[in-house]
Amino acid sequence: MIGLAGLMADQNLLGAPASESPSAPVTSLLPRPSHFPAKAKSVIWLFMEGAPSAVDMFDRKTELDKRDGDTTDIQAFFGNPGPLMKSPFSFKQYGECGQWVCDKYTHVAKHVDKMAFIKSCYSESNDHVPAIYQINSGLPRPGFPTAGAWATYGLGSENQNLPGYVVMGNTQGAKGGPHNWGAGFLPSTFQGTLFRSQGAPVLNLNRQPKITKQDQRAQLDLMAKLNDEHMRSYTRDAEFANRMQSFELAFRMQKEATEVVDLSQETKAMQSLYGIDNPASKSFGSKCLMARRLVESGVRFVQVYSDGEWDAHDDLEENHTHHCAATDAPVAGLLSDLEARGLLDSTLVIWGGEFGRMPISQNGKGRDHNPKGFLQWMAGAGIKGGVSHGETDEIGYEAVENPVSVNDLHATILQLLGLDHERLTYFHNGRSYRLTDVAGEVIQQILS
């Protein structure tokens, strides 16, 4: 059995996507057929790092309003727990679905009939770094492939001149670093590429002024020849082959990547739609507009990190007011733009953080971390708009109705991409791994 496993691994027969063929090796970003017809061709994940509070954004709790100031036995993770605290924001109902939205997210509120609200999410860790690892990779520790890596491993990408998986990070640096968009034990071809929203999209991408395109092409050709001779002696050095492909991709990116991030090609009206003309929302708006340009160019998976952190330990009202101002118009603009271009039918948009926040106060006016109950929403390809799934308890502390794990979220994302989360596997370290590990159920109730 050990010998058979080795032979199968040599031929990419073990752990490769079901649709793999010799013309599209497992390290390639060439497009591959899905397991079944897909609703979504691409994903834009709007990641609200630091954890927004559901009861202060989309999940109004009237019981929390009534019991404001009451003491409970809920304990804060980082000290200074206080009594129950109602939301400092007012709420209104929007759309035909009557979804409650706070008064700081009025642009996004206009799109609630496109969204499916998952109100009963839970995760394992109350600490940012392992929680971000889990929401990205399914496990609360580093070193495992992230959702974007799995998606591109399974499907490849539709544009060979750009990475299949692009990340626009937090301007302050995401907690946990590059592990949040890493490929883990998958070939490094599938890891996320960090783009910047201004200047050169990737550091050290452009040629040095004294080197012509012809000279660079000649260098790469010579290197490819030498590398090919090396590979004949070391045929199992997959990472060496991946590095060779990375050089070629970087060469092709020098023109197209620069054009994709050139937002000056967009009209003033389009930039205004994304809030780029407002200093408060300029940064995140630029990233959202770039995300649209990337999926329009054939990039498979784009993750957009909010700037700073929704980590409201001391003053929730101040923190969330700031982050709502930074993200409200850009998120709404993205949804409007995708819909107007016909891209929302083929693009899955996800919004949410790594966990939620407590219903009790902390340090007087803040809220502590809460992995027991938080909210995500999805919109676009294959999503049934204007619906809610699951509930936390009456004060928003713990998921009690149709709890949704991170594995369930990932299974649903892959399902919309036409991938069976149980069949998308990779053989590593003696076992077949998958994004959802040994769990995960598709949330059928939110699918159209």
Q: Above pLDDT 90, what percent of the chain?
A: 72
Cβ neighbours around 405 below 10 Å, total: 20
Q: Is 212 exposed, middle or buried (0-12, 13-18, 19+ CB in 10 A)?
A: exposed
Answer yes or no: are the C-beta atoms of 103 and 371 closer than 8 Å: no
Instruction: Tell whether 112 is covered by a domain.
Output: yes
Contacts of 133 (CB under 8 A, 6+ apart): 139, 140, 141, 142, 144, 176, 179, 180
- Give CA–CA dist 344/412, Å, rounded: 17
State the pLDDT at residue 262: 84
Q: Which residues of 100-121 are buried (b: 16+ CB within 10 A; e: fewer)?
A: bbbebbebbbebbebbbbbbbb
Residue 404 has pLDDT above 60, yes or no: yes
Query: Quick one: which of 81, 50, 71, 19 has its CA closest to 322?
Result: 50
Instruction: Tell whether 219 is covered by a domain.
Output: no
Q: Is 416 exposed, middle or buried (0-12, 13-18, 19+ CB in 10 A)?
A: buried
Instruction: Tell whether 234 is covered by a domain.
Output: no
Chain Cα centroid distance, residue 382: 17
**Which CATH number is 105's domain given?**
3.40.720.10
- Give CA–CA dist 98/101, Å, rounded: 9
Q: Residue range 386-390: average pLDDT? A: 97
State the pLDDT at residue 29: 87
Question: Is residue 171 very low, low, confident or very high in pLDDT (cuts 50, 70, 90)?
Answer: confident
- pLDDT tens for each residue of 267-301: 999 999 999 999 999 999 999 999 999 999 999 99
Residue 251 has pLDDT above 60, yes or no: no
Three-class secondary structure of residue 82 per DSSP: strand
More confident residue, 67 or 200: 67
Backbone angles phi, psi at 83, to 5 degrees: -75, 175
Instruction: Tell whether 74 is covered by a domain.
Output: yes
Instruction: Tell whether 267 is covered by a domain.
Output: no
- pLDDT tens for each residue of 78-112: 877 899 999 999 999 999 999 999 999 999 999 99
Question: Is residue 156 very low, low, confident or very high in pLDDT (cuts 50, 70, 90)?
Answer: very high
In the chain, how many domains are there? 1
Structural domain of residue 168, as residue ranges?
Answer: 32-205+273-446
Residue 331 has pLDDT above 80, yes or no: yes
What DSSP character marks residue 311? Answer: -
Instruction: Tell whether 183 is covered by a domain.
Output: yes
- pLDDT tens for each residue of 221-248: 676 667 666 666 665 555 656 665 655 5
Q: Residue range 352-368: average pLDDT? A: 96
Chain Cα centroid distance, residue 73: 35
Q: Residue range 389-413: average pLDDT? A: 98
Instruction: Tell whether 214 is covered by a domain.
Output: no
Least confident of 23-32, 124-133, 288-297, 417-426: 23-32
- Give CA–CA dist 363/238, Å, rounded: 52
Which tokens belong to 253? Answer: 């990116």
Q: Which residues of 292-318 are buried (b: 16+ CB within 10 A; e: fewer)?
A: bbbbbbbbbbbbbbbbbbbbbbebbee
What do you get for the CA distance between the two ends of the chain, in Å?
44
State the pLDDT at residue 81: 87
Instruction: Tell whether 428 is covered by a domain.
Output: yes
State the pLDDT at residue 375: 98
Three-class secondary structure of residue 101 per DSSP: strand
Contacts of 347 (CB under 8 A, 6+ apart): 40, 41, 42, 43, 44, 295, 338, 380, 381
Q: Residue range 322-348: average pLDDT? A: 98
Average pLDDT score, the chain: 88
State the pLDDT at residue 17: 58
Backbone angles phi, psi at 262, to 5 degrees: -85, 90
Which tokens belong to 151? Answer: 């998606």
